Structure 1
């Protein structure tokens, strides 16, 4: 970039730092402003594409910087006869090569008329090829199917088991005593549970009673009862390894301690409540991963958001209003200057698919973990660990795409699912309902209707067909 500014008065030679400190600072500031002309993700993509071009030139002993237009033409021609690279990908290569040259103060070879004509030829050579299959649209019916699945799996068996472990520990049982329990040691009634702790060489037998807790606190009896109902009538050890393990084995005292240690570290929160009560309460609620995924899918669908915009959201960008949520997009693909755009998310008609309800439930879980003061500065959608620990780094666009694909496949939906499925699903559903395109574009943020139309997936060519109204 400083080479590009080398013509400035006071610079000794092109690319050198000016001798005047004030001018040198101005050069640095100008370079920083120039760098902000493209987003970090675009710059990273350019860097990857440039590295490929640079390596290709090195193996053929051709200059990459500055590169002759003929060198770029040879590089682009290597794609002829292959289906590995689409035309937009090839255009991205040219853009990356041009950008590096401009920032180095060299002419952009991609602007040469010869390269322009070659790109036109490459475009024509691909016209008769089948377009690559597009990502399937997750329409409202599919969204409802996914949400119903998430609601059915909102409580994981391992969470029910671990909650019972904490309930027994809260009642005074040690790790070894919990590990030695069997179903025969329990006598459960509606109002209480009698737990018989067997004698060891060092300790005599004893009995412990679990009762219902207060309405505002954890319920140890409920936790134990739910686990026993889920576990079944197997007369063996009460606590065994999770179903994810190949061989389900009785948990040892060390295994019980490991559960308590990992869960306490992951789920203990910024709260005045005792740690045991907090963990029992969280384990008795819906799984954090389910809460996150449902909120992400419904918010992404209702807002027709791009996946990169969705993962950039912070809790300070979402405001609760009487009619729903107001989401502030501070940057987007069609908002290069960063003016920002507000998107309204209305309340849903069904509890199953209400995006406002889902987002608030997920926010409550995040607030329980991080505290109200810290929450506004954190990303909305973060990683959830195996133990339920919430991370503080945002999901990547690739992780979002995997999440959507995983949940759609778990629901038994057939298609090519990915990060754009939510955006395409909203646009396609709205088009099926004959909502005017300009209103759809207002929600999705499309600058042109031509780009909007590409997102519409029509599974029934006769729906809304204008030929039906011509009196044929």
Structure 2
């Protein structure tokens, strides 16, 4: 008759044999394979590789990197304490979460949102190794609830870029090829309420490149037409309609067509790098960090929020400032803004609205008081 400790040791050994611990391993190669009783063949082997490709596509590259880092940090934490991360132990993970919230030694205490994301990373990693981590287990749920109650803070919101800010930022850009591109990025991102990853993932046509996150279609119409963006976004596929502006200088569709024309882009990524002299478009797709850097640079050059030190101004603005700007500036029914941003709820849209008449709908008076 085995003791509980012997059972645990046996389970750990079995788990280790089945999925050896590698801090950089994401577990997918071991998870997706031919069953042991099935004879291999060229066709089946190719299907295994195809299945692995689809599994990798289930999450973005950045998400997979974050999950791999989460597992490496947890595995190191376990090793330093003489324990094993496999099989999953709710008690051990509860202690790990408490340590993250309290901070130990040189490691600072983490925010509630970061701890929650770390837990999601562990859940994913355990699933890849054939285990299930029950987040509702009392050892995990009660510790996490206590962390939220004691340490939760309202989310830090980035400053919204409003219409007058965009105009000032556009005025700082040169009129070379690079300036045309950056002008199109700012106007399209603002009018479309796009995430920075959505901006740079656009292709000219559907299926131009394997890493495409959507494509564009320039359309004419009785109301002036515009650009229809089909996006494979964070929340799934959605269409974003970007209408033409009142004048060419501030029209996102005009800026987009000008960039594509002078950059001679008719296939592949819409937004690419330029040569050092800014006169020739290259083939490589821009990284989404370019959007954040562009916004911060233009904010400084345009003198926006010049009442603050430069460091504070840089911290206030990011890629999300474009989405918040559209939500705050568009004088239309809230449901249209919600659709444009791709939000599942009006409450999420309201988080992006930095300036709105909060009491325009007065339920107190409507209730007779």
- Give the TM-score taking structure 2 as reference length: 0.76
Structure 1 counterpart of 2:129: 104
Contact 2:90 2:137 in 1 (8 A): yes
Q: Distance in 2 between matches of 1:65 and 1:401?
A: 39
Residue 380 (1) aligns with residue 270 (2):
yes
Q: Map Cα deviations across residues 48-104 of structure 1 (whole Å, 9 max, x no partner).
A: 222222222232232124342222222211232467533222111111111111111
Matches within 5 A, 1:75-114: 75-81=96-102, 85-108=110-133, 110=135, 112-114=137-139
Residue 449 (1) aligns with residue 346 (2):
yes
Matches within 5 A, 1:108-257: 108=133, 110=135, 112-127=137-152, 129=153, 131-150=154-173, 154=174
What is the aligned counterpart of 2:230 among 326, 329, 336?
329
Instruction: Note closer, same or farther for the CA distance 1:60–1:365 as it changes in structure 2 (3 Å cut).
Output: farther
Indicate the SS of the match to 1:57: helix
Paired residues, what number?
314
Instruction: Note closer, same or farther for the CA distance 1:65–1:302 as it changes in structure 2 (3 Å cut).
Output: same
What is the aligned counterpart of 1:19 among 26, 34, 39?
39
Contact 2:242 2:253 in 1 (8 A): yes
Structure 2 counterpart of 1:176: none
Contact 1:437 1:449 in 2 (8 A): yes
Structure 2 counterpart of 1:347: 244
Deviation at residue 421 of structure 1 after TM alignment: 0.6
What is the aligned counterpart of 1:422 among 314, 322, 331?
322
Matches within 5 A, 1:291-310: 291-310=180-199
RMSD of equivalent CA atoms:
2.8
Contact 1:379 1:394 in 2 (8 A): yes
What is the aligned counterpart of 2:286 among 371, 395, 398?
395
Deviation at residue 425 of structure 1 after TM alignment: 0.4
Structure 2 counterpart of 1:173: none
What is the aligned counterpart of 2:295 among 388, 400, 404?
404
Q: Map Cα deviations across residues 332-369 of structure 1 (whole Å, 9 max, x no partner).
A: 0110xxxx3332211111333111121122112211xx
Indicate the SS of the match to 1:80: helix
Q: Map Cα deviations across residues 385-432 of structure 1 (whole Å, 9 max, x no partner).
A: 4322433222222221111111111100124111101111001112xx
Q: Map Cα deviations across residues 431-472 of structure 1 (whole Å, 9 max, x no partner).
A: xx2x222111121111221221111112x7678474898899
Q: Distance in 1 between matches of 2:144 and 2:68?
A: 21
Query: Which runs of no fewer than 5 residues in structure 2 stay unpaired?
Result: 1-27, 206-214, 306-312
Of 402-411 and 56-65, deviating more is: 56-65
Structure 1 counterpart of 2:13: none
Q: Distance in 1 between matches of 2:165 and 2:364?
A: 28
Indicate the SS of the match to 2:158: coil
Q: Distance in 1 between matches of 2:257 and 2:172?
A: 19
Instruction: Note closer, same or farther for the CA distance 1:468–1:65 as it changes in structure 2 (3 Å cut).
Output: closer
Q: Distance in 2 between matches of 1:65 and 1:425?
A: 46
Q: Distance in 2 between matches of 1:27 and 1:299?
A: 40
Q: Distance in 1 between matches of 2:335 and 2:46?
A: 46
Q: Distance in 1 between matches of 2:364 and 2:323?
A: 29
Structure 2 counterpart of 1:261: none
Contact 1:324 1:344 in 2 (8 A): no
Instruction: Note closer, same or farther for the CA distance 1:75–1:303 as it changes in structure 2 (3 Å cut).
Output: same
Deviation at residue 45 of structure 1 after TM alignment: 2.1
Query: Which runs of no fewer than 5 residues in structure 1 stay unpaired?
Result: 13-17, 155-285, 368-374
Indicate the SS of the match to 2:172: helix
Deviation at residue 287 of structure 1 after TM alignment: 1.4
Deviation at residue 330 of structure 1 after TM alignment: 3.7
Q: Distance in 1 between matches of 2:276 and 2:180?
A: 14
Instruction: Note closer, same or farther for the CA distance 1:107–1:366 as it changes in structure 2 (3 Å cut).
Output: same
Instruction: Note closer, same or farther for the CA distance 1:469–1:289 as it changes in structure 2 (3 Å cut).
Output: farther
Of 28-37 and 137-146, deviating more is: 28-37
Indicate the SS of the match to 1:407: helix
Structure 2 counterpart of 1:312: 201
Contact 2:101 2:111 in 1 (8 A): no
